[in-house]
Amino acid sequence: MSTLDAFCKWLAAMPLSHAIANVGWIIPAVQTVHILAVASVLTAVLMIDRRLLQVGAREPSMLWVARRFLPFIWWPLPVLLVTGMTLIVGEPDRTLKNPEFFLKMGLLLAAVMVTLVFQIPLGRDPDFWHRQPARRWAARLLAIASLLLFAGIAIAGRWIAYTQST
Amino acid sequence: MLQQFLQALQDSALGTAIREGESLFPWIESMHVLAVTLVIGSVTIVDLRLLGLASRDRSVLQMTAFALPVTWSAFAIAVITGTLMFSSNALAYARNPFLQAKLLLIIGAGLNMAIYHLYLSRGAAAWLAPAQTPRRARVAGAISLAMWIAIAACGRWIGFTLHALP
């Protein structure tokens, strides 16, 4: 038996896992909270990225949009972590042995890095992404990468339900 | 009459293709989730401004102009993808209480929004500071927020109850 099998068995044997899996309303309720936190992240990402791509409203300014919406990317992450871990404890085989789950985690790591690459220079210099044409193009590329990565996270998340664990 | 229509819908080439296809349904559902999260997130931007909880340095009108184009585009995608999923199993969806509740709540949220825009938002051009948002606008924002959270919950519950019902 692999370590992963043993770990999944150990999780599934916990009374907490039984409770999550067998009390009918817990998983849909936790998924609802998870998806509302996802709504905050995806909307904040879209608002920042469409400003970077200069699609739609020119006002408010990019700095205002970044300041207003970056917290709505970071704040929900602990909520997503707690609700996501609850779903794993309830159904360890369905998640930890699922390729879509690991794809989702990989995309999440990349999305967090892209967000930090945008945010950290902006924190030091509010005009950082405007100063040179090359930087403006870099910001647009970051925006497209960010949109694709965050959409990929949500899509992979939904596909966990449809992929057989290996 | 309605039963015949629903039967014809799920027997249609489209309904059959979505029901029997390997990956059509999960892809449509993924797009539905993306669209719904953006509807809820963008509506929340307006609701939080009406409540005076966020975007306090921008006027209510600026925030509706900023957020509502996203709401409407995403809502159109959510309706199309939702209808496609419905067509794959129309009879079962039509009698699912959570789908019925979800549709009623969407109508309720639409009415709340229409009443706000037609009557309650009179004088909104002058609502610049958060303290200037009148009680009627704060109530409309709170109702909207509560309804959209309930809509997300109903949507998630449909997936857990569709096949459990006779």
Cα separation, B153 vs B115, in Å, equals 24
CB–CB of B44 and A40 under 8 A?
yes
Which residue did the predictor score with more confidence, A126 or B100? B100
Q: With CA atoms as reference, report the closest residue to B136 among B60, B75, B65.
A: B60
Q: Which residues in chain B are contacts of A36 at CB distance < 8 A?
A: 40, 149, 152
> Is 60 exceeded by the pLDDT of residue A56?
no
Which residues, at least 6 apart from B30, have a Cβ–Cβ distance to it below 8 Å?
Answer: A154, A155, A158, A159
> Is 90 exceeded by the pLDDT of residue A3?
no
Question: Which residues between 5 and 64 in chain A have a beta carbon less than 8 angstroms from any beta carbon of chain B?
Answer: 24, 27-29, 31-32, 35-36, 38-40, 42-44, 46-47, 56-57, 59-60, 64
Cα separation, A152 vs A148, in Å, equals 6
pTM: 0.92
**A2 φ, ψ (degrees, to nearest 5):** -75, 165
**B109 φ, ψ (degrees, to nearest 5):** -65, -35
State residue A108's pLDDT score.
97
Cα separation, B58 vs B133, in Å, equals 12
pLDDT band, residue A55 (cuts 50/70/90): low
Q: With CA atoms as reference, report the closest residue to B59 among B69, B49, B47.
A: B49
Domain boundaries in chain B?
A: 2-161
H-assigned helices in chain A = 3-13, 15-22, 26-52, 62-74, 76-90, 92-96, 99-124, 133-159
Query: Can you read off the two tokens belonging to residue B143?
Result: 């109702």
Domain range enclosing A130:
3-162
State residue B144's pLDDT score.
96
CB–CB of A35 and B55 under 8 A?
no
Cα separation, A66 vs B34, in Å, equals 21
Cα separation, A118 vs A109, in Å, equals 15
> Is 80 exceeded by the pLDDT of residue A19?
yes
Are A83 and A30 contacting, i.e. CB atoms less than 8 angstroms apart?
yes
Q: With CA atoms as reference, report the closest residue to B67 among B35, B105, B38, B108.
A: B38
User: Buried b vs exposed e over B86-106: b needs ≥16 C-beta within 10 Å?
Assistant: bbbbbebbbebebbebbeebb
Please tell me whether residue A35 adopts helix, strand or coil conformation. Answer: helix
State residue A60's pLDDT score.
82
Nearest by CB to A28, which of B58, B69, B157? B157
ipTM of the complex: 0.91
In angstroms, how far is the first alpha carbon of chain B from the final one? 20
The pLDDT tens digits for B105-134 are 999 999 999 998 888 878 777 777 766 788
Are B33 and A158 contacting, i.e. CB atoms less than 8 angstroms apart?
yes
Cα separation, A96 vs B148, in Å, equals 31
Summarize the confidence of residues A73-77 as an average pLDDT: 96
Please tell me whether residue B110 adopts helix, strand or coil conformation. Answer: helix
Number of domains in chain A: 1
Are B48 and B121 contacting, i.e. CB atoms less than 8 angstroms apart?
no
> Is 60 exceeded by the pLDDT of residue A157?
yes
Nearest by CB to A60, which of B40, B54, B66? B66
pLDDT in tens, chain B (166 residues): 889 999 999 999 999 999 988 899 999 999 999 999 999 999 999 999 999 898 888 888 889 999 999 999 999 999 999 999 999 999 999 999 999 999 999 999 999 999 988 888 787 777 777 667 888 889 999 999 999 999 999 999 998 888 644 4
Cα separation, B74 vs B124, in Å, equals 25
Nearest by CB to A35, which of B45, B70, B156? B156
| Burial of A123 (C-beta count, 10 Å sphere; 0-12/13-18/19+) | exposed
Handedness of CA A159, B93, A83, A74 (dihedral sign): positive
